[in-house]
Amino acid sequence: MEVPRIQARRILEYLKQGKRFDGRKTDEYRKIEVKVGISNKAEGSCSVKFGDTEVYAGVKMDIGTPYPDSQDSGNLSVGAELGPMASADFEMGPPKINAIELGRVIDRGIRESKFIDLKKLCIKEGEKVWNVYVDIYAVNDAGNLMDVAGLAALIALANAKMPVYNEKTERIEHEWTKNPLPLNKENLAFNMTLYRIDDHIVVDPTREEEEIAEFRISLAVGDDGEGGARITSIQKGKQGAISEEEMSELLDILEKKWKEIFPKIKKHVWG
């Protein structure tokens, strides 16, 4: 997406006044809307909107073999699909680098936080485990897909039900149990992405703000058990470098914003 120079200049002028085109402050998120159970084919599903940015997420499960280095643990895989329905900048076909990055960042945030108890997804050590697939579909990209997709993945997982596994036939029945996925609620970590635009740090950017940003940094942040923030994964994007002073400023903004928004995120995830 190419932002016209006059529009980029106006964005910067607004930021110098501490405001944005849509009236928000630099550290203010758009309104969050959530709907669960949007698919009757998935073990868990939801739609999440931040303003006009909308994402669908679904969870599917099947039986597979464990990875060689984790013989007693289930498997997790997160994939993202960015198609032309969401943005004219996206194309049909195999996943491009932005879709691959999105899936991997969300996957790492969930995996490193230990949100899913993968060991409880082991059926027979070394032979048979549950595979958990989280599929993310961008419906409309109006900025900040990373955080919207991250929240959608968490909500879909929190609402997923285990399929019925017939031990005699060693097959999955076409129905679900009432049992939720084995999740560690205390390890919930929400993806928060911060952008630098000129001399300003911005959260939940619009598509235009994303395009003119020098860098972004995405952090999966949860509770450390003592009321403080716990960072479980970090991913930097775009070409701009981050100085030591900027990193300190980013972490200060992150901690302040996390304390404000994390209670709301927990309500969205756990209903």
- Domain edges within the chain: 17-270
129 φ, ψ (degrees, to nearest 5)? -145, 165
Q: pLDDT grade, residue 21 (50/70/90)? A: confident
Average pLDDT over residues 165-188: 90
Bridge partners (DSSP) listed for residue 163: 176
The pLDDT tens digits of the residues spanning 126-160 come to: 999 999 999 999 999 999 999 999 999 999 999 99
Report the share of the chain in percent with pLDDT over 70. Answer: 99
User: Tell me, what's the pLDDT at 61?
Assistant: 96
From 12-21, 107-116, 125-134, the region with the lowest mean pLDDT: 12-21
| Cβ atoms of residues 202 and 192 within 8 Å | no
Q: What is the pLDDT of residue 5?
A: 83
State the pLDDT confidence band at 224, using cuts at 50, 70 and 90.
very high
172 vs 133, higher pLDDT: 133
* CATH architecture for residues 17-270: 2-Layer Sandwich (3.30)
pLDDT value at residue 267: 96
Task: Using DSSP bridges, classify how beta strands 128-140 and 75-81 pair: parallel, antiparallel or unpaired.
Answer: parallel
In the prediction, which pLDDT does 1 show?
62
Sign of CA dihedral 262, 59, 76, 146: negative
Residue 268 pLDDT: 96
Strands (E), the chain: 32-36, 44-50, 53-64, 75-81, 122-124, 128-140, 161-166, 171-180, 189-197, 200-203, 215-223, 229-237
pLDDT at 19: 86
Asked if residue 168 has pLDDT above 90, the reply is: no
For the residues 178-193, what does the mean pLDDT come to? Answer: 96
The token pair at 247 is 């990193």
50 pLDDT above the threshold of 80: yes
Q: Per-residue pLDDT tens for 235-246?
A: 999 988 999 999
Beta bridge partners of 131: 62, 75
Where does the pLDDT of residue 6 fall: very low under 50, low under 70, confident under 90, or very high at 90 and above? confident
Mean pLDDT of the chain: 93
pLDDT at residue 173, rounded to an integer:
83
The pTM assigned to this predicted structure is 0.94
Beta strands at 161-166 and 200-203: parallel, antiparallel or unpaired: unpaired
Say yes or no to pLDDT of 2 above 80: no
* Residue 116: pLDDT over 80: yes
